[in-house]
Structure 1
């Protein structure tokens, strides 16, 4: 993962933790969201 991606995941995970998710669930959910955004940016659709 690139540095920007890691920072984006950290920031998003912090938001999910504030919403009441456990740490592991928050990080997994954040990774999925960031990957979706990156894939869309580069035209990769699953």
Structure 2
């Protein structure tokens, strides 16, 4: 997933932390995951 790689590089965090952050934002609503397309801001 490109979005987690960008977070890892930008903030120097682990892949697990980046994935958890994305998952929280998807659960809370500001992000949406489109299968085979990517993760987008609503």
Q: Which structure has the higher relative contact order (CA within 8 Å, separation 6+)? A: 1
Q: Shorter-chain TM-score: what band?
A: 0.3 to 0.5
Which one has the bigger helix percentage?
1
Which one has the bigger strand percentage?
2
Highest CA radius of gyration, 1 or 2? 1
